Each structure stands twice: as structure tokens, then as C-alpha cells.
Amino acid sequence: MIEILNQQNRYWVNKRRFKILLDRLVKHYRLKDPQITLVFVDTKRIKKLNLKYLKKNSPTDVLSFPIEEKTPDGKFYLGDIVISVPQAFNQCFSQKHGLEKELELLTIHGFLHLLGLGHSDGIEEEEEKIESLLFKG
């Protein structure tokens, strides 16, 4: 089960689009019906989470929390992805694409972290591969 939560109210987020994106990623990596939660938050919330879990007193764009355990109903809980929509909005200008595209890229990045890929494990190369598969044309 994929759950999408929008806990910020400044920017509109097409939750259906991100459900489809995560469904495509799950299918691509041949995962068997994992539970994933994607949460869109504001700057204040991501800063609190970054401080609590990574001891960094600043906002960030995306955080991933791999859970990797069975739920009481026997499903596999892959983990949670938390994205700061205001941070993504600020970044999309320097990347020369829209907010929705930036949120998609951050979702992919967070998802790959849930799979265990790190910044020293070639995550950037994997992101490029996924982007070319999912965003052809």
C-alpha cells in the first residue's frame, strides 16, 4: 500500500501523480506490494526532523526512513519518504524545471534511499537510469 500525505498547505500537490510514480518504481524494482508513505511537509517540519534524526539544525529537501519490517497484517513496510515542498520550490529554479518535476526527482531519490542506496553507492547513476526509463520523451 502506498500512502501519500500532504501536510503543508502552501503548494498544491497532485497526490495521484506521486502514487503512480511510486507504483512504477515498485514495479520496476519488482517489490511485492510494499507499504510506503510519502509525506509532503513545510520547512519547519523538515527542519525538526533533520535535527532530530540527523542532528542537523537546518532544513533539507528530502529525508528517507527505511523501516524494512513486516506489519501486523504481514505486509512489508519499506519505509517513509518526507519531502519539503518549499525547499523543492526553491531548488526548481536553479534546476530550470517546475516544482512538480523537482518533487518527482526527490521522490525517486528518497525511494532509492529506502532501497539502501547511499550517496557513495552510486545513487546518482541509478537516479539517471530511472529518470530516463520513467520520463522518456
Percent of the chain with pLDDT over 90: 71
Supply the CATH number for residue 88's domain.
3.40.390.30
Using the CB atoms, write b or e for 40-77: b if 16+ within 10 Å: bbbbebbbebbeeeeeeeebbbbbbbebeeeeeeeeeb
Q: What is the mean pLDDT of residues 14-25?
A: 96
Q: How many structural domains are present in the chain?
A: 1
β-pairing, 62-70 vs 76-84, is: antiparallel
Q: What is the pTM of this model?
A: 0.92
pLDDT digits (tens, 9 = 90+) for 91-110: 998 878 899 999 999 999 99
Q: What is the mean pLDDT of residues 36-62?
A: 96
- The residue segments making up the domain with residue 53 are 2-134
pLDDT of residue 18: 97
pLDDT of residue 136: 63
Query: Over the chain, what is the mean pLDDT?
Result: 92
pLDDT higher than threshold 60 for residue 35: yes
Read off φ and ψ for residue 96, nearest 5 degrees. 60, 40
DSSP reduced 3-state for 126 = helix
pLDDT of residue 56: 96
pLDDT higher than threshold 90 for residue 71: no
Cα–chain-centroid distance for residue 84? 10
pLDDT higher than threshold 50 for residue 124: yes
